[in-house]
Structure 1
């Protein structure tokens, strides 16, 4: 007897659902490919050669069959796909055919034949050759423009400039009277061209990656039922590679700065020429970076270009090989400020491999990105592996498009994310599990704290998570205190060395000498208090008095510090304030510790205004809905995807009904304090760079809170208001991957069509 159809469907429902999901992904990819094909075909890049002309002043050939000739300027190494010429047709639609030939001497290099009906009177028209031509040094190039009009009145000429508007080196002449040129045609070079099928060819590798991620992720999660960290590693690797291909060269957040830092470190590792850094006349920290000749034209001091041409240039140069490794060029770049070399080590090693193989700039950039991605995948997967509670949280946060976009770029923040996730997971493991913490885990926490604290100043409070670890898991209270003190000392030492100058700048307006004199008597009181404690510490009355006296002393200390900081010469006269306004409207004076304390109402107004205006933008930046450098490009992913990402994050922190709390009371206060402290430090750091006449805080981005996002979600999940009836871990994890893939595809469309 045959098995009923519904029984067969039930037995294979996971595979059928996976096939349906893969089919849906294929349909989405087909739609994206269709959109890219129509938006990116026949896109050209222009270079102005001659734009000094009188509009519609046209030179008509005496004989259309003989035509006109225009000499071209030779630009060695430039690929000429065609030219743009401005035609005049006497205000009518001309009929017939137009032929433009590119000649070197008498040698025909390329030809373009077009219908004269496409020529608009007084407008530039693209003339595309049948083959691209690379201009060579020492060769002379010219255009021969001829026409075959359908009727004598179908006259076609070229707009030109003459006299002072003509370029003697670029003469335009009638072929029958070449002795009196004195004119130069309105001319532009077409230096790049996407053609009709470029978008589909370039999109094919990304489409394959997305299909592998979606289909393979379904199989791992629902059929194979693989462990969380293996599924995460697979999905993060494929989707991170997708983001590495989607983000145009040097278009990631501050990627041009990180590219310079990684390149300089790569040179230093091999003992090659280093980098000379200094502040320029505008106060920008710049470097003269020695680099290979093949890299110099592409390295820049601003964010990279976006659009179809940017992808075309990357695709054309991706397989360049045989380049010299000698650092014969020097380029002025933006130097990274206060970034530790270890944060650039993966990217530098990837770049070194490309340089050793003689690969070009774009391949070097991609290898640097992939090395950065590999480190992130390893660290984040370990965090998912070791997290005793909230694996869904680490899984969902780790697959956020913002995390994957940073990992798929040269950003130094990638290492910070991975270190923060793993440190949080290990400390949570030591707090939630009732078993001894291995020596390897203890050493790992110590190393992570020592690396994370100096990497970015605001994240030093994450080191406080070590106090979350149970003392009995560290061998008792005495060993626990010693170990935690060692962790804090290692982190604090590196933090002071790396960020001491920054902190000093923030407190530049505080009168340190006056503060020292005001607090000096307190040192004597502290010494006397210590002596009294040693003498009468067993007396209950003395202990109560000591607590009260300590509280009073702390209050006096705080009051004195606030008073001194608030009266340290931060007041500006109206004349000083007016003189400090720059041409862009911003003041040269910025908030400092002293100014903040002495202008508390203004500071509170600034913070409230910032929160009211920028909160949606911060949420977009947190999940990765602002592709590339937000300040430069202004691209936005649809709010449908943004809300989907936020909902998945919220769902990932929910507990099942009846599941006990994951955190004890003291631990909740500690995690909350760490989250609030990091947020406060982030705001304070950005306020310190904000002009005093600004309406909002300058420089805050949602992605800065990614390292503490798992902790905030863990705290949110302790609320019992909303709970899950059953385990939905695999569905949530797949939704995280699917939304990240959809964000990558929409980012590609936004980048390509900008």
Structure 2
């Protein structure tokens, strides 16, 4: 389906570019922290750092962050007009007037200071260019957003052009409103999702675990896992090109999995030792009922070590807590996967979600159909292993959030957002079994129609939603 890369350009470019320029700064999850991480690269700060700061009560605490020219961060924080979030000419003039400070400042960003910085490079270059050209920090951040849009567009088109199967689900994933919102922001997740789609595409090309495309996929997957360690189970997708269990296939596949995981493990160990700090929720709190220690103890922050005690006391909680959280919050998680923009507070009309559910299911089914003359798909055992890795990654995402971002001993997991699953959808596109029948091309075309229809509608609907939320009175 040679038209699919063109459809992605048609759907993604105008919508993501509009959102990059029209969504007010800071109205994307954690955007100021991502701006800080990108800006720190301009000063050679590949690793974040720790520094003693004061909490809201004036007590000293150890915080993680980065050092940079803080102008772009100030610009990203400055859009704040209370409950009515409307961008006016006066607000824009105020943002334009924010200067570049004359000294470097430490900015707390505990969630992004630990990230492997590779996916911040395009936006960091744009920030530096904006400063060099003497644009305001506000304009420099907008430049970074636009560069992210162009970067994701190039990577996405390349993925859809190179993929030999899975294109339909890749297109649907890359066209989701949530994906487009991230692509049009400073959040590195847009580049990460597009890169994961490229990994999936590269893995459809080799006739075995060998060749340039295979090893490039392994290197890119190493970057993705280094940025997001919970995605480590996804490394087993490197088995998908294997034709069997021979040493000729398994040895390079094991090597590729090691290449995809070992750098991430090394980076995680370094950041845990030198950068990572607990997350402070507010006043000290008593632990929840799952903590096996003294219930009267007060905790000032999250505590990974004590959360590990919870899991060691009852290992079944590794499975039970994610399932329990998903059962309670499944609608929120699904909606934030499809698209809840702004600070996860701008919800689309409910029929839009329903149509996207239909489109994603149709895209997944259509992805499985292959005509007899198309290249063979993955072997059954490797399909099962890959699908299990997707499930394992979901549990890893929830469990890591429990360890690092949830109050000690709580019975639900905090902080999980549906957008974390978007890279999994890209890899799911090549992990599904292949059904080889005559007429598969026509069937895929029919099953593509829901995605084409709703993504095409999004070109009009999403800008209208942004305008009504932030501009129209």
1:696 alignment partner in structure 2: 412
User: Radius of gyration: which is bigger?
Assistant: 1
When residues 364 and 731 of structure 1 are mapped into structure 2, their CA distance, relative to the original with a 3 A threshold, is same
* Matching of residue 463 in structure 1 with residue 235 in structure 2: yes
> What CA distance in whole angstroms lies between the structure 2 residues aligned with 1:344 and 1:404?
17
2:287 aligned partner: none
1:298 and 2:70 equivalent?
A: no
1:395, CA displacement in angstroms? Answer: 0.5
Query: Greater share of strand residues, 1 or 2?
Result: 1
Q: Is this contact kept in 2: 1:280–1:286, CA < 8 A?
A: no
Shift of 1:290: 4.1
In the alignment, the residues of structure 1 paired with residue 298 and residue 175 of structure 2 have an alpha-carbon distance, to the nearest angstrom, of: 45
Q: Is 1:706 matched up with 2:422?
A: yes
Q: Distance in 2 between the 1:409 and 1:707 partners?
A: 17
Deviation at 1:333, TM superposition (A): 4.0
> Residue 497 of structure 1 corresponds to which residue in structure 2?
266
Match of 1:571 among 292, 300, 304: 292
Residue matched to 1:646: 357
Structure 1 residues 729 and 318, CA, compared in 2 at 3 Å: closer, same or farther? Answer: farther
Q: Distance in 2 between matches of 1:266 and 1:305?
A: 33
Q: Which deviations, in whole Å up to 9, do the C-alpha atoms of 1:622-673 show, x marking residues without a partner?
A: 111x21233xxx3322211111112111111223889579543113212212
Aligned twin of 1:682? 397
Checking the alignment, whether the CA contact within 8 Å between 1:241 and 1:370 is kept in structure 2 is: yes
Q: Does 1:746 pair with 2:457?
A: no
2:384 pairs with 666, 669, 681, which one?
Answer: 669
The residue that corresponds to 1:93 in the other structure is: none
How many pairs align?
441
- Paired with 2:99 and 2:327, the residues of 1 have a C-alpha distance of 53
Find the counterpart in structure 2 of residue 267 from structure 1. 43
Task: Tell me, yes or no, if the aligned pair for 2:32 and 2:73 is still in contact at 8 Å.
Answer: no
Shift of 1:247: 2.3
Q: Secondary structure at the match of 2:253?
A: helix
Aligned counterpart in structure 2 of residue 620 of structure 1, from 321, 329, 335: 335
Query: Displacement of 1:614 after TM fit?
Result: 0.4
Helix, strand or coil at the partner of 2:147: helix
Contact between 2:37 and 2:66, CA under 8 Å: does it hold in 1?
Answer: no
Aligned to 1:285: 63
Residues 650 and 305 (structure 1), Cα distance of their counterparts in 2 relative to 1, 3 Å cut = farther
Shift of 1:688: 1.1
What's the TM-score once normalised by structure 1's chain length? Answer: 0.52
Shift of 1:484: 2.6
Which residue is 1:258 aligned to? 34
> Counterpart of 1:327?
102
Please name the residue that 1:394 is paired with. 170
Q: Which runs of 5+ in 1 are unaligned?
A: 1-224, 506-569
How far is 1:703 from its partner?
0.9
Q: Is the 8 A contact 2:383 2:432 kept in 1?
A: no
Q: In structure 2, which of residues 217, 220, 226 is the aligned counterpart of residue 454 of structure 1?
A: 226
Asked if the contact 1:306/1:751 (under 8 Å) is kept, the reply is: no
> CA–CA distance in 1 between the matches of 2:68 and 2:21?
27
Q: Structure 1 residues 666 and 605 mapped into 2: Cα distance closer, same or farther (>3 Å)? A: closer
Q: Deviations over 1:572-606 (max 9, x none)?
A: 13xxx223267xxx987886233213135777664
- In structure 2, the CA distance between the partners of 1:287 and 1:675, relative to structure 1 (3 Å rule), is closer
Deviates more, 1:699-708 or 1:599-608: 599-608
Q: Secondary structure at the match of 1:579?
A: coil
Per-residue deviation, residues 129-152 of structure 1 (Å, max 9, x unmatched) = xxxxxxxxxxxxxxxxxxxxxxxx
* Alignment correspondent of 2:279: none
1:316 to 89, 93, 118: 93
Provide the rounded CA distance (Å) in 1 between the counterparts of 2:412 and 2:188: 26
Residues 450, 494 of structure 1: 8 Å contact kept: yes
CA gap of 1:718–1:442, structure 2 versus 1, over 3 A, is: closer
User: 1:641 touches 1:739 (CA, 8 Å); kept in 2?
Assistant: no
Shift of 1:705: 1.0
Which residue of the partner structure matches residue 444 of structure 1? 216
Q: Tell me if the contact between 1:233 and 1:381 (Cα under 8 Å) persists in the aligned partners.
A: yes
Structure 1 pair 710–298 and aligned structure 2 pair: CA distance change class (3 A): closer
Distance 1:242 1:659, change over 3 A: same
Secondary structure of 1:410's aligned partner: coil
How far does residue 400 in structure 1 lie from its aligned partner after superposition?
0.7
RMSD: 3.9
Cα distance in 1 for residues equivalent to 2:319 and 2:222:
34
1:8-407 → structure 2 map (5 Å cutoff): 227-268=3-44, 277-282=50-55, 285-287=63-65, 289-291=67-69, 295=72, 297-298=74-75, 300=77, 307-310=84-87, 312=89, 315-316=92-93, 327-328=102-103, 330=105, 332-334=107-109, 336-407=112-183
Q: Trace 1:471-550 onto structure 2 (pairs within 5 A).
A: 480-500=249-269
1:711 CA drift (Å): 3.8
Which stretches in structure 2 are left out of the alignment for 5+ residues?
56-60, 275-290
